[in-house]
Structure 1
Amino acid sequence: MIMDKAKILERCNNLTRNTLMETLNIEYVDLGNDFLIAKMPVNERVHQPMGLLHGGASVALAESVGSAASMIFVDIDKYEVRGIEISANHIKSKREGFVCAKASLIHKGSKLHLWEIRITDENNQLISLCKLTNMILPK
């Protein structure tokens, strides 16, 4: 990696100001050579009317962490990242606590990145399983 872990996480978290990620309290917390992890609290801000984690909030978390992960692997002065497809399977419901989304790289091409995003709770129970395809475009 070009920069150290702390600087990359700080850069990712600074990019969330005044965005949906800030509204949902998404925080980037860990990364490695082929993954990025973000954390989001589960509370009334991300509930659907039945008091459960909204599937849309889970998908927003997944796309946020997968897109940020792609940004880590490209020169953002030369390239832009665009999510072009996302799919999600919601496995288990969640009412409170937090969830973590780990974006793991499946394919890193020059024009497309493919990510698997596993959303788990604090007990490492699988909540949602997502797949995200990002297109890498020259600026």
Structure 2
Amino acid sequence: MTAEYTPTDTDGFAWAMQRGMGALAEKMGLELSEFSVDRAVATMPVEGNTQPVGLMHGGAYVVLGESLGSMAANLHAGPGRLAVGVDINATHTRSATSGVVTGVCTPVHLGRSITVHEIVVSDDQGRRCSTIRITNMIKDLPRA
């Protein structure tokens, strides 16, 4: 992740930058640009994340969606708690072939034990390519 944190940022971005998005997200080139409980945004290059025929791989859309949704759920969960994915689905409606795609994650439900997020992934022209929905279960971390 290459986005920069500024000291005036109070929306969870610093938490996300400190935690990181994981090795897979880094390998796929995800770059976080906005992060809060209410909205998380990241981009991912098409190049390197394609099927053999040059179309963005559907699994790459899902990696972007799950990365954003799980991170947002964990921010909502708070200290001493952990959000883990229990369901994810995606509907791909367009195939990006170049440039970057942008995922915008917003909550559908933020509960004490379950969260649901929708992630809309769009291409450089703002056209929706995939709609992803992820459900996370929130549980207490084991005591040390």
User: Could you say whether these structures have the same fold, taking a TM-score greater than 0.5 normalized by the shorter chain as the test?
Assistant: yes
Report the secondary structure of 1:11's partner residue. Answer: helix
**CA root-mean-square deviation:** 2.0
Shift of 1:31: 3.4
Shift of 1:34: 1.3
- What 5-or-longer segments of structure 1 have no aligned partner? none
TM-score normalised per structure 2: 0.85
Residues in 2 aligned to 1:14 and 1:121: alpha-carbon distance in whole angstroms: 28
Of the structure 1 ranges 18-27 and 50-59, higher mean CA displacement relative to structure 2 is found in: 18-27
Q: Which 4+ residue blocks in structure 1 deviate beyond 2 angstroms? A: 3-11, 13-18
Identity between Structure 1 and Structure 2 (%) = 30
Which residue of 2 is the match for residue 36 of structure 1? 40
Report the secondary structure of 1:28's partner residue. Answer: strand
Which residue of 2 is the match for residue 133 of structure 1? 135
- Relative distance call for 1:21 and 1:33 in structure 2 (3 A) is closer
- What 5-or-longer segments of structure 2 have no aligned partner? 1-6
Where do 1:102-121 residues align within 5 Å?
102-121=104-123
Residues in 2 aligned to 1:80 and 1:4: alpha-carbon distance in whole angstroms: 26
Which residue of 1 is the match for residue 84 of structure 2? 82
TM-score normalised per structure 1: 0.88
Shift of 1:105: 0.5
Residues in 2 aligned to 1:133 and 1:30: alpha-carbon distance in whole angstroms: 21
